[in-house]
Amino acid sequence: GEVLMGSQSSWEPDEKPEHKVSLKSFYIGRTPVTNREFVRFLNGDKLKPWEFISSQLPVERRSISFYDGEWVCSEELECDACSCESWLLADRFCRWLTLTSGRVCRLPTEAEWEFACRGSEGRKFPWGDETNGMADRAWLWRTWSSRRPGKIAVASFPMGATPEGVCDLIGYMDECCSDWYSPEYYEISPADNPKGPTEPSKQREKVVRGGLAHDYQGLFHRSQYLGVLPSCYVPMGWTRNEIVDAIAPPPDASHVYDRLGFRVVVEVEE
């Protein structure tokens, strides 16, 4: 299909120019990967406790723990989106899923993510162009701060799904894309199946899409919103001022960025 990427009306220069791209068919996860699915990966790929630093977070912030030789998640958190803590672990999950499923699984490109969100008709939001009832469509700031404290299960806002049924594309998690980030990439992007720059910049930034519930400005939850991940373990409210390797795991639990998630793309067999 085709999707119109970017926005000419945005004041962010890296969202310009608005341009049309054509994509091959693909499948994308209805929701972000959940804690239950991530625990299967952690146990199946036999990760050690030091390979998933989030298990060392304080109990009140911890979704997944290493107990008696295996990874576990409490039942009430199984259906919450997992915090993968680094782009590297999200990519490793996809590689593991490829091996275990026999299908090619990977992170979505930025263009695929935007197509899933906007559709070929270029919606402003996943559900369409309407702004009424936003609090019932996505986990936005006023929803997070007043009515639904803490984390919530995926697909808790069915009114915010796309016409195709894809949920939680905005207002829930920052979601990893496969692309390296370049502020000028939209100016040189190929029209067919763009995959981002072939080489990282010195900053080694990765593209993230979606926006957090904590990003209370409504503009962060438009379908066109582009974010960058200078580090997969910066504290809440990341900025581009501190540049480190985007694929590195956090050095310790105090640096875990616990609102980074991802969803999986499965390639269509030709």
Going from N- to C-terminal start, the domains of the chain cover 2-267
Q: For the domain covering 2-267, report its CATH number.
A: 3.90.1580.10
φ/ψ of 91, rounded to 5, equals -65, -40
- At 97-133, the pLDDT tens digits run 999 999 999 999 999 999 999 999 888 889 988 888 8
Tokens coding 65 = 């723990």
pTM of the model: 0.85
Cβ atoms of 222 and 125 closer than 8 Å: yes
Q: Which residues of the chain have pLDDT under 70?
A: 8-14, 60, 140-151, 212-257
- At 6-43, the pLDDT tens digits run 776 665 666 777 888 999 999 999 999 999 999 999 99
Distance CA 124, CA 32 (A): 20
